[in-house]
Amino acid sequence: MDTNLVQSCTLCNARCRLSAGKWLILWLLVLTQPALGQQAQEEKTSEKLRLLHANEMTGVVEGNQQLRRLIDNVRFRHGQTDISCNLAIDYPGQERWLLIGNVLIKDKEKTLKADTVIYVAKSKLYRALRNVELMTDSTKIFCDELNYDLAERKAIARYNVRVIDQKENTELTSGYAEHHRDTRYTLLKDDPVFVQYDSLGEEETRIVGETMEAIDGGQRVVVDKNVVITLTDIRATCGHAEYFRGKEKIVLTIDPVAYQKNNRLTGTTIELLLKEGKIQQVHVLERALAEFVPDSSAKKDRPSTISGKKLVAYIAGDFVEKIDVNGTATCVYYVEENGIDKGVNRAQGDSLTLLLSDNAIRRIIFDSSPGKSTGKFLPPGYENQSAASQKQAGQKSKSTAGQ
């Protein structure tokens, strides 16, 4: 059956593109450019939906309204977009179309599949329901419900949202995703999780938080509440994380802690500086504290410590090769040889530089004003005695002051 329907209708979808790169951000661009058939809608608003074929067409009355039902092998064309389904119902008075069963909407760039699609021409709203699948060249997006408001240029995906980018080896899941095209703002909530895989399919990056936001088209990304970032053997937790795409920098605040094997970093703020997605430096600002246990240590529950106002760790490959500490820099380092305790080194100064190899300190360099650097080595057993002596001396000083 070949005929023209008077009702104008354009079915558009969310053109979703995920460009994760090597780090945590670009996955939030999932809904950055919505529009399946949208370009045709904007350029040819007067063009009508053309019926190409239907095995059967019948008229039915629902309430006081006459409806038209197109049954089996239904095919439409709108501009460059092809549309097909098992059943199409036209609601002329409401300017609404209901497409049911194996709905397929396809243009040169994208393909949308769903069990049901509802389009309301007057309000320029459409909804795809159940088994929704949106595909581009490298990206597949799955959800239970996809809504797009053409007037407000806003897209919302709900329930079991899953985005797979085969080119970037990334996967994003959440319960809710919302994108505002004009302001280039994206919000994900309901347990969003981002995963980056390496070329062998092994997980190398995972990001979890209660909410994720992309601002200015992903130039800045914010992850809030119960944030966990995992990169191979590095794990960081905090209450708030921000990624700055242009600077290739991640800033962790609200009780940030970073872990790597037996090492632990804490401070008021932790900054991760990246290059091509790999961590090059870690900056710990205010109340910086590093706890680490050499790989060869037999006492894993006794970490050496480095503290100061600011700490900068330089990373080569998977290992820290140098640490700079400024502001009352203090190092307490336990010495072992073949698993035998040899004592502890204590060093303090305006600033310290520590050179490491295999997670063990090989050299400590002081940079302080004369008389402000101190260093002491305590043999095994003397550390506790020294601490007891200091405590006793403090108590004696208080007693003398009270007389």
Instruction: Note whether 341 and 353 are within 8 A (CB).
Output: no
Non-local CB neighbours of 385 within 8 Å, separated by 6+ positions: none
Question: Is 1-179 assigned to CATH 2.60.450.10?
Answer: yes
Q: Which pLDDT value is given to residue 42?
A: 46
Q: Which pLDDT value is given to residue 294?
A: 67
Q: How far is CA 226 from the centre of its chain?
A: 13
Residues facing residue 269 across a β-bridge: 285
* CB under 8 A, 24+ apart: contacts of 280-283: 280/314, 280/315, 281/312, 281/313, 281/314, 281/315, 282/258, 282/312, 282/313, 282/315, 283/310, 283/311, 283/312
Q: CA-CA distances (angstroms) from residue 48 to 10, 73, 90, 120, 121?
A: 8, 20, 13, 14, 11
Q: Which pLDDT value is given to residue 39?
A: 40
Structure tokens at 237: 């937790």
Q: How far apart are CA 285 and CA 131, in angstroms?
A: 48
Q: Which CATH number fits domain 256-397: 3.40.50.720, 1.10.3720.10, 3.30.870.10, 2.60.450.10?
A: 2.60.450.10
Q: What is the pTM of this model?
A: 0.73
Instruction: Note whether 89 and 61 are within 8 A (CB).
Output: no
Ranges in the chain annotated CATH 2.60.450.10:
1-179, 256-397
pLDDT digit string (tens) for the chain, length 403 residues: 333 322 322 222 222 222 333 333 333 333 433 434 444 444 444 467 788 999 999 988 877 778 899 999 999 887 788 999 999 998 887 778 899 999 998 888 888 899 999 988 777 788 999 999 988 777 888 999 998 887 788 889 999 999 888 887 888 899 998 888 788 888 899 999 988 888 888 888 889 999 998 888 778 889 999 999 988 778 899 999 998 888 888 999 999 999 887 788 999 999 998 887 778 899 999 999 988 876 666 566 678 888 999 999 998 877 788 999 998 888 888 887 777 778 888 888 888 888 888 767 788 887 777 667 777 878 876 655 544 444 444 444 444 445 5
E strand or H helix that includes residue 41: helix 38-43
Non-local CB neighbours of 267 within 8 Å, separated by 6+ positions: 256, 284, 285, 286, 287, 288, 289, 311
